[in-house]
Amino acid sequence: MDTMYNHFSQLAPSYRVLRKTDVEPIAYISESLKGLPEVNAADIGCGDGRYDLLLFQHINNLHLTCIDTNGPMLEHVSDYLTNHSFTQFETFQAGAEDFPLENNSMDCVLTFNAVHHFDFVKFIEKVAQVINPDGKIFVYTRSRSQNAGNIWGQYFPSFAEKETRLYELSEMEGWIQSVDSITIETVKSFKFKRNSTLERLVEKAQGKHYSTFSLYEEQELDEALNAFQDNIKNAFEKTDQIEWFDENVLLVLKPNQS
């Protein structure tokens, strides 16, 4: 836990620059909520707010509660949203299983690429308490198999093996079914065509844009990064035109009315 807290604290100033933020899931979520005149929402594990800005830009009359365990990340959320003239938000430093929201108070609870840091069942149980009877829960993540198929899983030594925290879709579905008060409404898959230069990929790995890189010892990471560059050069004819696909999944949950 200390390792991850330190990782995200150090990464907070550069996180938005290093990470790719996809608008497609936000557009899908916005469409799902378009019938609501206003939306009271919470983003759990909000990080530095890169998805929160998109939420404000796509959802009308949004009031957002931004929750994260990391203090420096929350400072960046506040600055980021305020600098873009959005003020209908508040921040709380809290865990994903014990955040301070009232029961039945939320129209929407969201989490983006963070659920693998949570105790999944306790998180769902907590969310089931705070969501209102007509509300929706959006869990955007990638699975272990999706992670293994991206550029890092394929070419960066031990990346897929070290990243054991991610959940498979079948695991999440089973855990959700074990919580009587919540049911799955939809599972939406996303596939993104990516492109980059090798130089930019090396910059991201050195910046530890995925917390997976914090699981390497310093020398081990240097050796893996050198091997990664060799692997890319062998696999791609042009290292300034590297293309691959990233995949993610969005689970849409709702209170069980039965």
Torsion, CA 124, CA 43, CA 159, CA 150, rounded to 10: 100
Tell me the range of 15-29, 131-145, 196-210 where mean pLDDT is highest: 131-145
Mean pLDDT of 127-132: 96
What per-residue confidence (pLDDT) applies to 211? Answer: 87
Cα dihedral value 208, 209, 211, 216, nearest 10: -30
Q: How many CB atoms lie within 10 A of CB 105?
A: 14
Return the CATH number at 19. Answer: 3.40.50.150
Orientation of helix 198-206 relative to helix 218-235, angle to 10°: 160
CA distance 96 to 175: 16
Reduced to 3 states (helix: H, G, I; strand: E, B; else coil), residue 82 is helix
- Tell me which H or E stretch contains 159: helix 159-162
Establish if 174 belongs to a structural domain: yes
- Does 84 map to a domain? yes
Model confidence pLDDT, tens digit, residues 23-72:
999 999 999 999 899 999 999 999 888 899 999 999 999 999 999 998 88
Residue 124 falls inside a structural domain: yes
Q: How many domains does the chain contain in total?
A: 1
Structure-block tokens of residue 13:
């100033």
Give a yes or no: residue 154 inside a domain. no
**126 in a structural domain:** yes
Q: Is the pLDDT of residue 20 over 90?
A: no
Tell me, yes or no, whether 28 lies in a domain.
Answer: yes
Of 7 and 97, the structure prediction assigns the larger pLDDT to: 97
Q: Is residue 208 part of a domain?
A: no
Domain that holds residue 15: 2-143+165-192+247-255
pLDDT digits (tens, 9 = 90+) for 196-244: 999 999 999 998 888 899 899 999 999 999 999 999 999 999 999 999 9
Q: Looking up tokens 């090396």, which residue turns up?
A: 202
Residue 109 inside a domain? The answer is yes
